[in-house]
Structure 1
Amino acid sequence: MLCHNEYSKYLLCHTLVPSGPIPTVGDPEGIYPYESYCETSKRPSFKNFRFISIENDYLRVEICPDLGGKVHSIFHKRSQREILFQPGSIRPTRILPRLAFISGGIETSFPISHTPVQLETVYYIVKQIANRLYVWCGEQELRYGMQWTVEYSLGEFDTFLTQRTLFFNPTSQPHPWMAWSNAALPAYADTQFHFPSGKVLYHGNEVKHIEWAKDGPRTMKEIDRMAGYFWESAECNAFGVFNPNQGCGLYHIADPSEVPGIKLWVYGTGKHEKWAHLSAVERRTYVEIQAGPIKDQSIMHSLQPNERHLHTEFWIPSSQCLEINKITTPSVELVSDNQIPLFEWVERSKTRVWLQLLQAYRDNTPERIPIPPEWHSNEWPPSGIGELGEVIQWAISLSKSESQELWKYYLAVWYAGCGYKDAALSMLSKTHSDWARVFEGRLLRYWYNDVERAAKSLSNIKSHEMALHPQIMIERDIALSLLKDKSLSERGKWLNQVNSLQDDGLTERMISYLLDAGNVHEAKKLLESTDFEPIHQRYVRTELWGKIQDHLNQHGTPPPENIGEDDLAQFGRYRSY
């Protein structure tokens, strides 16, 4: 019989440290209007999360709307096994473009790989229609204003989970997007990979093509490093992973005309296995089987104004190995796609003031204009709310003194987030605060490569405390470094004022400074002695090591493991800037 339950429970959760107050426009490690992070706390605390479970006689599926609407658990009643990887805590591992992902469960991504709201609350609706339970999770995303809904459903006699994902662009402009569903499963040396023959794009320390039937691994123990495999062609549209020692596995199938993307991601059993441990409380590894409407993550599609995109996929738990060529796409009766709800912007701590301001504007109630956020709160106006330009102008016209100055600053930030370069810099020039100078410096360097003006803006900060914030120190040092030798003494003066701080970004800038000053051995010693926090898909420290090797003419020496960067070949559309 079908039943569902809604409840909450406490999970161990590691907090993230924001990078700082500079809006993420032009940040190669960010995506506006979301803040980026520079550290994950070593010790977890408790946090309460809401869950929805749907179940029949075969499966119990647990979904968490407070983790971006991901599937947290699939319990297979026949084998009495949990199918998905359970990390034991919410422990974010940093990765581009937003610098945080969590392992375990099934994550649905939109409009970038690794959804920017996987640590945030989204809307949800639970409903039973006939003999099927539906859970819809979604929101209106903040970058472009597109809407997404993921639908999970379970019929009374289903032995599989049905997932549909709907995207809609209600705006007047086309916007880029990619989407993947990532299911994490526990992995062991004998974990079996059941994937179709075909041409595969291999992404490890190099990018190359292989034939899966000839060169693809069959078990985990055959893989000695982290790697991704993207199918460019496939003899069938089913794939999965099976764990013999657990007696269970998970398979995926979809119509290849809707979901042609097939991917396997592994950490292997060698030196990279420790990367899997970063996101769990126990040293256990996992693999991800992934599917999507695009064939690989170097590609993005464009959603046109008023265009809808819908695709369907199925997750099939099993207590025995399945022959993928014999798996057929289930036939299910689902509600029509126009019955799938679309959600609006979610009121969170970072969006609340903007939604309140928008409502005051629409109701023409100036007395309900909220107090503008503090400049250091990282509550930046979402570029996906297209009305905000005129809304903030309205607030400016009705405000005075400090509030007016803040609204002007946020109008400049919103212009920048939308790509209105001249309007952003023009408004910043009318704003006389230190925080405006900081953001102005970032934009002058990023948009116009005007490093002299950028350095001057950052040097015009009056508050000494603000000037010493690590993110602002880093931004200033980057600008000064582009002025070459004439800035060396000024760079040293600033960096030496914070040389007691244990901050990875500042250490990187100090290494860069030492190299530019000709102190190669000091730079090498500092890089080799610093225990950097690991981060995926970022290669700043690797590039510094390469420069050190160039200076010492010691080419070919691999970077030390303490630098905390993977050795994947650079591939994919991860960066927004």
Structure 2
Amino acid sequence: MLNLTEWQETLLYHPMIGSGPIPTVCDGEGIYPYESFSETAERPVLRKFRMIAIENEWMKVTVCPDLGGKIYSIFDKASGKEILFDAGAVRPVRILPRMAFISGGIEVSFPIAHTPVQIEAVHTEARQIGDRLYIWCGEREVRYGMQWTVEYSLGERDRYLTQRATFVNPTSEAHAWMSWSNAALPARADSQFHFPTGRVLRHADILEEIEWDGKRGYTLEDFDRMQGFFWKTADCNAFGMYTPSLGSGLYHIADPAETPGIKLWLYGLGKHENWAHSTAIRRESYVEIQAGPLLEQADNSKLQPGARHVHTEFWIPSAEPLEIRELALPAPQLIPIEEVPLFDWIPRAGTAPWLALAAPYRGGDAGALAAPPAAEDCIWPPSGLEQLGDALLWAADVAASAAGDAGEEHSQLWRYYYAVWLAGQGLLDEAIAALSAVQLDCGYALLGRLLRVSRGDYAGSRAAYAQIRSAAWSLHPQLFFERDVTLAHFGAEALDERAQWFAQVDSLQDDALIERKASFLFDRGDLAEAKAILDRHAFGKVHQRYDRTQLWQRLAAAAGEPTSASEDVLAHLGEDDLAVYGAYRVSEQE
């Protein structure tokens, strides 16, 4: 019995608040050209999501194309159990790369970890071929212009799910990539970790190598904090987790020659469980078991022009604990990889204006040229569109030839977007040169960041920010933060100017503004007031960011107090205590 169904399911969705109008190029909390986010609404809205399910006699697997093509559910018919963690809502939290991570289900990432399209819709096809059901999800991603497809398939008698991913680089340059399949499972104190014996990199408050005894019998009760484990060696190619109190578990197996990566991530019992709670609507924790074609999250590979990568893995739901060394690698008959669909760009809000520009440019049809997106819309030209630069310059020239103020404004905007696109390509000097011809507030805002980050030109950065005319732009928290970082470089000489800016936003309780105000007070010598501000404000949680902790430690040192931040302090500041590790954005290591 095989069955393929599709429907719209209403879920609770917590809307996100964008970080701001400055493009995410050279942004430590974003990945260009995607918009990044600063906070999540506490009150959810009702939103419909597309669901597609494949099922046989043994299981039903549901995929959500509107959430990056993730596996939303694996229902084990033999036990009547849902296998995967269900967050109860789509509630994004601040984890790189976009500060919009959602838990639950199985996420497949590419070309970075975590995938930047977790809360975006992707292309999907589904059909039956012979005695096997297939779902394909994918897109042409906008960072580098590479194509990815993840294939989920279920045979008529399979008691496992087959997952096959293919990545293709149709561009003219090699690009870095990484990929992890991340399965979230409900965590209980008796959850058992069935992983290979081997040498493991442990990522907690320190980085260390340990020996994992696969026969010891680890459970969640053995861990009292958040931490991750990467297997550097393994005595078998299978792993999984089983929870006796739930009567369910999930196991993974793959050919280690093509999918050697094995990872376990957990929050443990106690002080860090609330980090897991922030992704769901109930106080329930989860564990992630992960696999991938690379050994560690700090690794990435290069996909050459015209090259294709393929790897296959298998997920095995179970109502009883399994012996991982006895699991046999399945060998299903899949369609040839050449027949797996490869998808093009998604015409979503962030790509539609730029895709629409291509036709009039190629045809030289100036009359078909639409107005550029408003700078406030946070829609930036994809760096993955290699030939977009010429089209943007053409659009700028066409607009300049139009009569009236609107034509000049549109021409300036097109030139601004050309500079943004150059910066997204990593051509920062060329972007700075292009911005010198843009007399718009958005251009001054980006120029201020690029001069500081790429050249260390604080004087030029300060001068750029000073040219911004709009009070709304000047007082937006994102730009305010960036400008204050620049002004802080000038020490005592800029204290009065900084004070004047802070006086204009002293009612706002935005996390970024509070952090910068504490830094300003510290620079001014008001240590007690600076520390009081940090102690009073309840900061939102953010993974792998330590600026507030470091500021608190500097304040403590200046006051002659102990600089070791307690768990209570870290919880209040909203930052974890993990050692710096990994590359959520492969561009960090290019």
TM-score higher than 0.5: yes
1:493, 1:149 → 2: CA distance? 52
Cα contact 1:262–1:292 (8 A) shared by 2: yes
Aligned-pair distance for 1:553?
2.3
1:217, 1:430 → 2: CA distance? 65
Cα contact 2:134–2:153 (8 A) shared by 1: yes
Match of 1:567 among 567, 574, 577: 577
Aligned AA (1:206) = I
Aligned-pair distance for 1:60?
0.3
Aligned AA (1:39) = E
- Which residue of 2 is the match for residue 493 of structure 1? 500
1:327, 1:246 → 2: CA distance? 22
Aligned-pair distance for 1:214?
8.0
The answer to whether 1:18 aligns with 2:18 is yes
Aligned AA (1:345) = W
- Which residue of 2 is the match for residue 445 of structure 1? 452
The answer to whether 1:411 aligns with 2:418 is yes
2:39, 2:222 → 1: CA distance? 33
Aligned-pair distance for 1:215?
11
Aligned AA (2:128) = Q
Q: Secondary structure at the match of 1:491?
A: helix
Aligned-pair distance for 1:164?
0.4
2:558, 2:8 → 1: CA distance? 56
Q: 1:467 to 1:246 in 2, by over 3 A?
A: same
Question: TM-score normalized by structure 2?
Answer: 0.96
Point out the more displaced range, 567-576 or 431-440.
567-576
Q: How does 1:301-450 map to 2 (within 5 A)?
A: 301-399=301-399, 400-450=407-457
Q: Secondary structure at the match of 1:269?
A: coil
- Which residue of 1 is the match for residue 516 of structure 2? 509
Q: Secondary structure at the match of 2:213?
A: helix
Q: Secondary structure at the match of 2:48?
A: strand
Q: Secondary structure at the match of 1:376?
A: helix
Cα contact 2:114–2:584 (8 A) shared by 1: no
Aligned AA (2:347) = E
TM-superposition CA deviations, 1:8-60 (whole Å, max 9, x none) = 11100001100100001111111100011111101100111001000000010
Cα contact 2:230–2:263 (8 A) shared by 1: yes
Q: How does 1:60-459 map to 2 (within 5 A)?
A: 60-213=60-213, 218-399=218-399, 400-459=407-466
1:390, 1:323 → 2: CA distance? 58
Question: TM-score normalized by structure 1?
Answer: 0.98
1:342, 1:192 → 2: CA distance? 38
Q: 1:416 to 1:218 in 2, by over 3 A?
A: same
- Which residue of 2 is the match for residue 540 of structure 1? 547
Cα contact 1:167–1:309 (8 A) shared by 2: yes
TM-superposition CA deviations, 1:105-128 (whole Å, max 9, x none) = 000001110100010000011021
Aligned AA (1:497) = Q
1:214, 1:117 → 2: CA distance? 35
2:385, 2:162 → 1: CA distance? 32
Cα contact 1:95–1:538 (8 A) shared by 2: no
2:73, 2:88 → 1: CA distance? 12
Q: Secondary structure at the match of 1:398?
A: helix
- Which residue of 1 is the match for residue 404 of structure 2? none
Structure 2's unaligned 5+ residue stretches are 400-406
Q: Secondary structure at the match of 1:495?
A: helix
Cα contact 1:96–1:538 (8 A) shared by 2: no
Q: Secondary structure at the match of 1:188?
A: coil
Aligned-pair distance for 1:499?
1.1
Aligned-pair distance for 1:364?
3.5
TM-superposition CA deviations, 1:49-91 (whole Å, max 9, x none) = 0010000000100000000000000000000000000000000
Q: Secondary structure at the match of 2:375?
A: coil
Aligned AA (1:97) = P
Q: Secondary structure at the match of 2:460?
A: helix
2:49, 2:214 → 1: CA distance? 45
1:164, 1:12 → 2: CA distance? 30
1:98, 1:178 → 2: CA distance? 16
Aligned residues: 577
1:326, 1:215 → 2: CA distance? 14
2:227, 2:216 → 1: CA distance? 12
- Which residue of 1 is the match for residue 57 of structure 2? 57
- Which residue of 1 is the match for residue 472 of structure 2? 465
Q: Secondary structure at the match of 1:31?
A: coil
Aligned-pair distance for 1:366?
2.5
Structure 1's unaligned 5+ residue stretches are none
Aligned AA (1:140) = R
Q: Secondary structure at the match of 1:306?
A: coil
TM-superposition CA deviations, 1:285-310 (whole Å, max 9, x none) = 11000000111111111111111100
Point out the more displaced range, 64-73 or 354-363.
354-363
Point out the more displaced range, 344-353 or 554-563.
554-563
1:51, 1:485 → 2: CA distance? 58
Aligned-pair distance for 1:217?
6.7
1:338, 1:364 → 2: CA distance? 36
Aligned-pair distance for 1:362?
2.9
Aligned AA (1:362) = R
2:163, 2:564 → 1: CA distance? 47
Q: Secondary structure at the match of 1:302?
A: strand
- Which residue of 1 is the match for residue 489 of structure 2? 482
Point out the more displaced range, 544-553 or 355-364.
355-364
1:168, 1:187 → 2: CA distance? 36
Aligned-pair distance for 1:423?
2.1
2:317, 2:372 → 1: CA distance? 50
2:138, 2:365 → 1: CA distance? 30
Aligned AA (2:130) = A
Cα contact 1:230–1:263 (8 A) shared by 2: yes
1:223, 1:230 → 2: CA distance? 16
1:553, 1:298 → 2: CA distance? 37
2:441, 2:275 → 1: CA distance? 40
1:227, 1:558 → 2: CA distance? 18
2:73, 2:148 → 1: CA distance? 22
1:100, 1:163 → 2: CA distance? 24
Cα contact 1:28–1:97 (8 A) shared by 2: no
